[in-house]
Amino acid sequence: MTDQYQNIFEKDLQYVFQNYTRQPIALTRGAGAVVWDVDGKEYIDCVAGIAVNNIGHCHPAVVEAVRRQVGELIHVSNLYYTRQQAELAKGLVLRTGMDRVFFCNSGTEAVEGAMKLARRATERTDFVAAEHSFHGRTMGALSVTHKSQYREPFQPLLSKVEFVAYDDVEALKGSVDQDTAAVILEPIQGEGGVRVPHDEYLRSARDICDDAGALLIFDEVQTGFGRTGRWFAKEHSGAEPDIMTLAKALAGGLPMGAMLAKDEIASRMQKGDHAATFGGSPLVCTAALASLKVIEDEKLVERSARMGDYLMQGLKDLELDRVTDIRGKGLMVGIELEVKCGSIVDYARNHGVLLNCTSDSVLRFVPPLIITEEQIDSVIEVVAQGIKEIE
Ligand SMILES: *Cc1c(COP(=O)(O)O)cnc(C)c1O
């Protein structure tokens, strides 16, 4: 290990909360679908900051826009208007089919906003969420996150939450009633292991909510902005939510979240009901506006669909033992293995590919949407070798 590494690792160990299981590299630079570590070693990045860097690392359009904005105005709070925030709100409304936007700083905050709005708008208390769901780590969002390992040390959470099997219409029907404020679902589950429901599932969820007078929240924090081969994953089903949450790729790598709603729901939020000091600052809005333009100009949504098919087919053609399922949409792909995938992640990293493992045995691929066929070929080769090595 080089001195540089030793130095970074020692400082982290001494001064940083040890709540993350980190991989033993330190990254210094990124461009497109590639990142470099402090030793200058190059990696094809199929993690992309956990589905954040959809337009690639340090896209010149975002870098340029942020560079200009940072010298002009960084932050003023929501006591004042800014042009950037108004423009971004319009851009998001046009692309999502929602009517209004509330800006915050992360996915979990967007979910908190959605849950507060659902209670405010319905004057009901209960939530229904899915097994294997992930909606964030703050108390409200954690209450609708399924994994017991994340929840148990922090009980009591919100008590009025019921979890039902994902992609199971009857189970959902059985649990939504007159007390349900909202059903919250990921249109494709991310952290839970890249689980893709049948198209009718989300449409049925819509009907079930309508029948009970409950709201439907789609958490598109991970699936948004072209990730699944559509602007938003809800488009695969045609189902429309009342409330939608966004974050991750929203601002081209800068931290930002957003909660969107239909007008008749959004209008139930009263002045003073909710707020975020940093939400929708001119700097972050500038980054998001530039990022949306890149996705459009470079046709990254279509590219995600095409490259996703290419990746999925390449993985399927390997016909590997120990692989029980390969699934996903666009460039959100998971390989389910019979074994835990930690050693394959290590093998891939040592051979120049960054991957992560979700739900213990699912290797997840969420690369920048600008990844090339040649890069995908290299990734497939390394992964194939990595899976063979464990035998
Ligand atoms: C990552 C994620 C979150 C939480 O986002 P943070 O920015 O980490 O708070 C919420 N929902 C989904 C679907 C996610 O993938």
Res. 79: pLDDT tops 70? yes
List, in order of start, the domains of the chain with CATH numbers: 3-55+299-390 (3.90.1150.10), 61-297 (3.40.640.10)
Centre of ligand 1 to C-alpha 246, Å, is 9
Best of 135, 150, 223 to mutate for ligand 1, by most ligand atoms within 8 A of CB?
135
Res. 38: pLDDT tops 90? yes
Res. 244: pLDDT tops 80? yes
Q: Let me know if 271 is a catalytic residue.
A: no
Best of 52, 134, 139, 356 to mutate for ligand 1, by most ligand atoms within 8 A of CB?
134
For 45-78, write each residue's pLDDT tens digit. 999 999 999 999 999 999 999 999 999 999 999 9
Centre of ligand 1 to C-alpha 266, Å, is 22
In this structure, the residue with its CA closest to atom 6 of ligand 1 is 107
Mean pLDDT of 134-146: 98
**What is the per-residue DSSP string for 206-275?**
HHHHHHHT-EEEEE-TTTTTTTTSSSSGGGGTT---SEEEE-GGGBBTB--EEEEE-HHHHTTPPTTS--
Which residue in the list 248, 262, 329, 365 is annotated as catalytic? 248
Res. 199: pLDDT tops 90? no
Q: Let me know if 218 is a catalytic residue.
A: no
Pocket lined around ligand 1, Cβ cut-off 6 Å: 106-108, 111, 134-136, 186, 190-191, 219, 221-222, 247-248
What pLDDT band is residue 129 in, cutting at 50, 70 and 90? very high
Which residue in the list 37, 219, 232, 234 is annotated as catalytic? 219
- The model's pTM is 0.98
Centre of ligand 1 to C-alpha 109, Å, is 9
Res. 7: pLDDT tops 80? yes
Centre of ligand 1 to C-alpha 200, Å, is 24
Res. 94: pLDDT tops 80? yes
C-alpha to C-alpha distance for 55 and 381, rounded to whole angstroms: 24
Which residue in the list 103, 134, 225, 365 is annotated as catalytic? 134
Res. 3: pLDDT tops 90? no
In ligand 1, which atom is closest to the CA atom of 219? 13
In this structure, the residue with its CA closest to atom 8 of ligand 1 is 107
The pLDDT assigned to 163 comes to: 98
For 294-336, write each residue's pLDDT tens digit. 999 999 999 999 999 999 999 999 999 899 999 999 999 999 9
Nearest Cα to Cα of residue 243 among 134, 147, 83, 127: 127
Contact 62, 252 (CB under 8 A): yes
Measured CA distances, 328 to 2, 162, 314, 373 (Å): 39, 26, 13, 18
Measured CA distances, 66 to 143, 252, 280, 287, 293 (Å): 36, 10, 14, 6, 14
Contact 308, 332 (CB under 8 A): yes
Nearest Cα to Cα of residue 115 among 189, 28, 214, 239: 214
- Helix (H) or strand (E) holding 126, with range, is strand 126-130
The pLDDT assigned to 198 comes to: 96
The pLDDT assigned to 103 comes to: 98
For 141-154, write each residue's pLDDT tens digit. 999 999 999 999 99
Res. 391: pLDDT tops 70? no
Nearest Cα to Cα of residue 315 among 303, 299, 331: 331
Res. 30: pLDDT tops 80? yes
Q: Let me know if 234 is a catalytic residue.
A: no
| Percent of the chain residues past pLDDT 70, beyond the cut | 99
User: Whose structure tokens read 């939504």?
Assistant: 176
Torsion (CA) 368, 372, 377, 383 in degrees, nearest 10: -10
Contact 258, 332 (CB under 8 A): no
Which residue type, as a one-letter code, is found at position 12?
Answer: D
Res. 264: pLDDT tops 90? yes
Best of 108, 137, 245, 366 to mutate for ligand 1, by most ligand atoms within 8 A of CB?
108
Centre of ligand 1 to C-alpha 375, Å, is 27
Res. 2: pLDDT tops 90? no
In ligand 1, which atom is closest to the CA atom of 247? 7
Measured CA distances, 301 to 47, 60, 229 (Å): 18, 19, 5
The pair phi, psi for residue 118, each rounded to 5°, is -60, -40
In ligand 1, which atom is closest to the CA atom of 190? 15
Centre of ligand 1 to C-alpha 248, Å, is 7
| Percent of the chain residues past pLDDT 90, beyond the cut | 96
Res. 1: pLDDT tops 90? no
